[in-house]
Structure 1
Amino acid sequence: MLLIAEVVSLSSTRKDYDDCTAKYGPYGIPVYVVVDPYAAEVVVHIWPTGAGYIVAHTHKYGSGKLPIELTDGRTYTFDPDELPQPDAGVR
């Protein structure tokens, strides 16, 4: 497995940010991506440990394409600006 990505919903925000980082890191998932349309950001977690991840990079919507380096040497390019966004005021 090279990457796991999840999209935050209103009911899963804390689970996606906290519980899943603590769950996927110990399993050695090399990259865990949280897409949060409500905060208009993508958080890329890298360098898994037994307790989660050492590094988390935040990429705001509107700041261009996001290159994500995979452990097999390839780069996955993700463009959050292509995603639908929730109605204003929803959170």
Structure 2
Amino acid sequence: MSVMNDLIERGAVPEGYKVEIFDGRVIMTPQSPEQDWTVSDVKDAVKSAGIARERVFGDVLITFPGENDAAPDLTVIGLDADRRKNSYSCLDVLAVVEVASEPDDEKDYVRNVRKYGRYGIDVYLLADPFKKAVTLMTEPHSNGYGRAVEIPYGHPVSFTLATGERVTIDTSTFPARDVHQN
């Protein structure tokens, strides 16, 4: 059992916090209202695309063989995904959405790009309330993604999942956050 699994099973994650393990360190990050609101808007858009709620969730453990597990802000899984207690394999993940919790967050902009791409997650959408833009990454490969498009808040973002389902997200409701805001 991984450290992350152990924390989740024992209910040791304080409410309002996200816990992840990176480079052997446990990182606890409080979620901001902007993160919650953005994830909620994306979840609504994904469900409006006809994707069943059982395939869309946030902060649920995703296992990565030989690497630290993760609990993305929002995950969309395939039609035949196998639940393993309270987690899913990265091999079942079609898309991941993360919301940057700090400006130029290395975890989201570097480590997650490499990890999600290396494990073949087709779509990685990174919403950044500090830049007021989303970055849509597709064409995964061993070092990240072959295609990255930055789209300012206020413009729609669309992508097609490997299942053929098309998702369009209206980013005009995404909240911005001041870099100096605590």
Asked if Structure 1 and Structure 2 have the same fold, meaning a TM-score greater than 0.5 normalized by the shorter chain, the answer is: yes
Tell me the CA shift for residue 12 of structure 1: 6.9
CA distance in 2, matches of 1:9, 1:75: 27
The alignment yields a C-alpha RMSD, in angstroms, of 1.8
2:136 aligns to what SS in structure 1?
A: strand
Trace 1:1-91 onto structure 2 (pairs within 5 A): 1-10=93-102, 13-62=105-154, 64-87=155-178, 90=180
Tell me the CA shift for residue 41 of structure 1: 0.5
Deviates more, 1:32-41 or 1:68-77: 68-77
Given that residues 8 and 36 in structure 1 are in contact (C-alpha distance below 8 angstroms), is that contact kept between their aligned partners in structure 2?
yes
Segments of 5+ residues of structure 2 without an aligned counterpart are: 1-92
Segments of 5+ residues of structure 1 without an aligned counterpart are: none
Tell me the CA shift for residue 24 of structure 1: 0.8
Equivalent position of 2:39 in the other structure: none
Q: TM-score, normalised by structure 2?
A: 0.45
User: Which structure's relative contact order is higher, taking Cα pairs within 8 Å and 6+ residues apart?
Assistant: 1
List 4+ stretches of structure 1 deviating above 2 A. Answer: none
Larger radius of gyration: 2
CA distance in 2, matches of 1:26, 1:38: 27
The structure-2 alpha-carbon separation of the partners of 1:67 and 1:11, relative to structure 1 and needing over 3 Å to count, comes to closer
2:118 aligns to what SS in structure 1?
A: coil
Higher helix share: 2
Given that residues 153 and 174 in structure 2 are in contact (C-alpha distance below 8 angstroms), is that contact kept between their aligned partners in structure 1?
no
CA distance in 2, matches of 1:10, 1:34: 12
For these two proteins, the number of residue pairs brought into alignment is 89
